[in-house]
Structure 1
Amino acid sequence: MKNILVPIDGSRPSHNALQHAIDIVNVYNAELTIVNITNADAVLDSFDVFEDMTDEKVKDLTQLAKDKSGYVLEKAMEAVPENLMVHTVQLVSTPEIGILSEADKCDADLIVMGRRGSHSLSEQLLGSASTYVLAHAKCPVLLAHN
């Protein structure tokens, strides 16, 4: 096992996933890739109407998303021991697509992610991004409980 990917969104479940990933990285002397994904749908939803989408608003939202993502990654890095090899990645995407894309890009051997409930029964049990990643990932996926 050479590289472990952990999606972080600042939530308690993602923090728990990071802790599990750190333990695994230590055992295998692997590298850790921490990714924060700003949900593209949420960015688009922040516009009342598309006619209001000016270049300035797009720049402002992009900067806001980068700032928030940077803060989440910074807080995550506080939990990572200094001796670990860590890569951080900021993406604007839908979470599940961003996770799978980054897993392919960094050739992840394992994805460790938190799980949260959402709408449908499977989403309530796992979370919509978790459900999608489990079904489509090319590598094993470990879901961390609260």
Structure 2
Amino acid sequence: MFTKILVALDRSPMGKQVFEQALALAKATGASLMLLHVLSAEEEGSPYAPLLTNFDYYPGVGSQSFEHYQKQWDNFKNEGIQLLQSLSAQANTAGVNAEFTQQLGSPGRLICQLATTWGADLIIMGRRGRSGLKELFLGSVSNYVLHHAPCSVHVISVPSQVTQAEEAPQETASVN
């Protein structure tokens, strides 16, 4: 069965579901977990600044702006590590061997690279349910991993009602 499960996580509510399903499967199969968080501009809440170089070139953008950005980035990284430590401890308490890593880069590529180097039997990850123009411009990490992974991939999807509720503005109707 499975002996090594790579769990790709982010800070969304979907990340919690991904972890819970991975933990349940690891308990059932006796597998070890590798928890991965990728620091990326694609993640909600990321303080990613596209102008990381040449701050002096742009008027009004100086060392204070860079220092502010650096503090935000450090907080973002620390929150990711704290999440991974907490989930790893939760898995270890449940009797599942778990380790973690946080890396900076392209989520799809890093997931596939780590799966290869760590020797994962399975990757468990979430899917945000982007469609249309959002997927065209932002891409799909899960789609990339499905096509490039060196092992089996289990993708957990957001239920369609949740996706529609998040994308569509709330409408209220009144009856006269």
TM-score w.r.t. length of structure 1: 0.80
Q: State the partner residue of 2:126.
A: 114
Quote the RMSD (CA, aligned, Å): 3.0
- Runs of at least 5 residues in structure 1 that lack an aligned partner in the other structure: none
Q: Which runs of 5+ in 2 are unaligned?
A: 57-62, 159-176
Deviations 1:86-140 (A, max 9, x none): 010110111111111111121000001111023537949xx70001001111111
- State the AA in 1 paired with 2:79: K
Closer, same or farther: CA 4–49 of 1 in aligned 2, 3 Å: closer
Cα 1:49–1:123 shift into 2, 3 Å: closer
Distance (whole Å) between structure 2 residues aligned to residue 109 and residue 96 of structure 1: 17
User: Structure 1 vs Structure 2: percent identity of aligned residues?
Assistant: 25
After TM superposition, the structure 1 = structure 2 runs for residues 28-107 of structure 1, keeping only pairs within 5 Å, are 28-39=29-40, 45-48=48-51, 50-52=53-55, 63-77=74-88, 79-82=90-93, 83-107=95-119
Moved more, 73-82 or 92-101: 73-82
112-121 or 72-81, larger mean C-alpha shift:
72-81
Larger RCO (alpha carbons 8 Å, 6+ apart): 1
What is the TM-score of this pair, normalised by structure 2? 0.67
In structure 2, what is the Cα distance between the partners aligned to 1:51 and 1:14? 35
Structure number with bigger Rg: 2
Aligned match of 2:155 in 136, 143, 146?
143
